[in-house]
Amino acid sequence: MQNVRTRKRIKDEAEVFYIATYEAIQQIPYGKVTTYGYIAKIIGAPANSRQVGAALKYLKDAGGRENEEPGTGNDNDETDSITKQFNNQNVPWWRVVAFDGRIALRTPRQMSAQRARLEDEGVTLIDDRVRQQGGRVGNLAEQGWFPDPEDSDEEE
């Protein structure tokens, strides 16, 4: 059984990860997308792309209710302080896609919401994948946002 100190350390590490994830996602420009893996790389945790997706599940809507769009939301005490600071309006979760430009699998309603937000920003999608001019699918060169991770360290 974990002792209180170990649980607190894990909670603190998770909170630091979530905050770094949300702050990195807030940097994605309007009309651009990036991947879960690239967000993980930017924040110094390149092996944790799935945890980036998990962090997005905890976003709440701007009214404090569980988020209906990016994930399931959670009222767990460990994430409560974070969800008060970050929400689905000030963290553009819809700009994060899978490594191949695909909208990550969620409920049909959530996928539809992400598709609509991306299209509203001028991101072209074909079969729920980011499309590049000329019709190629899955190549994020034109609509992707991939700053040098070294540059993000200098801004801090």
What CATH number is attached to the domain comprising 33? 1.10.10.10
Task: Looking at mean pLDDT, say which of 17-21, 59-63, 122-126, 133-137 comes out highest.
Answer: 17-21
Name the percent of the chain in helix, strand, coil, to the closest 5.
45, 10, 45
3-state SS, residue 15: helix
Number of domains in the chain: 1
User: Is the pLDDT score of 41 beyond 90?
Assistant: yes
Domain span at residue 9 reads: 4-154
DSSP labels for 123-137? --EETTEEB-TTS-B
Task: Kindly report, residue by residue over 126-154, the tens digit of the pLDDT.
Answer: 888 887 656 555 567 778 899 887 765 54
Instruction: Decide: pTM greater than 0.85.
Output: no
